[in-house]
Amino acid sequence: MSHVIELLGAIMERGGPVLWLLVLLSLAVVATGLERFWWWTKAGAEFRLHNYRRDGGGPCLNQWRTVLREEGHAMAYTVIERDLRRGVSFLGFVVGAAPMLGILGTVLGLAKALGALGAKGTGSSQASLDRLISAGLAEAMLTTAAGLVIALVALVLRHWLHARVREAGGVLNCESERLSPPPEPNQDP
């Protein structure tokens, strides 16, 4: 276990300050994913089509039905959409921001490596120059890889959430039609 902690510490040290930002961003993505998974397996499960057809809903859907009857279609969708779509915008932000942070880390790492090359004539030993160059290149590669991995995880979570929201939208449309009063027949003479 201590070997793993030492390895992670070495990776974080090599990755530079941008890698720390990416780690914080990845923790936020994991927390969002866990919260959304928990919500969709508990409260959100009643918005799944097969559960709706089998059970007819639950407490969340009953609350939505009450708002639909009392305040109308637009307000009912506004009330439930907040719960259904929570986290989707944040994940969209991460899909765009994580690769950009990775590229920033790449630029900083390459600048460090090129700075070490520029110091070649200042009397530094070849071994210390090689270490400085490899440290800059390691920072560049680690942050790029981390940014891409985080963006891919966020993208998968975002697509999963979009699929759940679309399915819930279908259930809500069915329920809205079922609860809406039938149209008045035309009284044309």
- Angle at CA of residue 82, ends 70 and 90, nearest 5°: 170
Task: Kindly state the percentage of the chain with pLDDT values over 90.
Answer: 30
Of the two residues 115 and 7, the one the predictor is more confident about is 115
Structure tokens at 8: 């992670």
- Cα-flanking dihedrals φ and ψ of residue 125, to 5°? -75, 155
pLDDT at residue 124, rounded to an integer: 62
**Distance (Å) of CA 117 to CA 55, 105, 107:** 68, 18, 15
Residue 65 has pLDDT above 90, yes or no: no
Task: Give residue-wise pLDDT tens across range 25-55.
Answer: 999 999 999 999 998 888 777 777 777 777 7
pLDDT at residue 44, rounded to an integer: 77
pLDDT at residue 14, rounded to an integer: 74
Identify the residue whose tokens are 């276990």. 1
Residue 67 has pLDDT above 60, yes or no: yes
Nearest CA-CA partner of 159 in 151, 170, 147, 148: 151
- Across residues 56-74, what is the average pLDDT? 78
Nearest CA-CA partner of 80 in 90, 66, 91: 66
Asked if 175 contacts 57 with a C-beta cutoff of 8 angstroms, the reply is yes
pLDDT band at 119 (very low <50, low <70, confident <90, very high): low
Residue 48 DSSP label: S
Nearest CA-CA partner of 26 in 18, 86, 136: 18
- Angle at CA of residue 31, ends 9 and 28, nearest 5°: 60
pLDDT at residue 122, rounded to an integer: 58
In whole angstroms, what is the distance from residue 145 CA to residue 32 CA?
Answer: 21
Residue 156 has pLDDT above 70, yes or no: yes
SS3 state at 172: helix
Asked if 94 contacts 157 with a C-beta cutoff of 8 angstroms, the reply is no
Name the pTM for this structure: 0.78
Q: Residue 72: how many CA atoms within 13 Å on its side-chain side?
A: 2
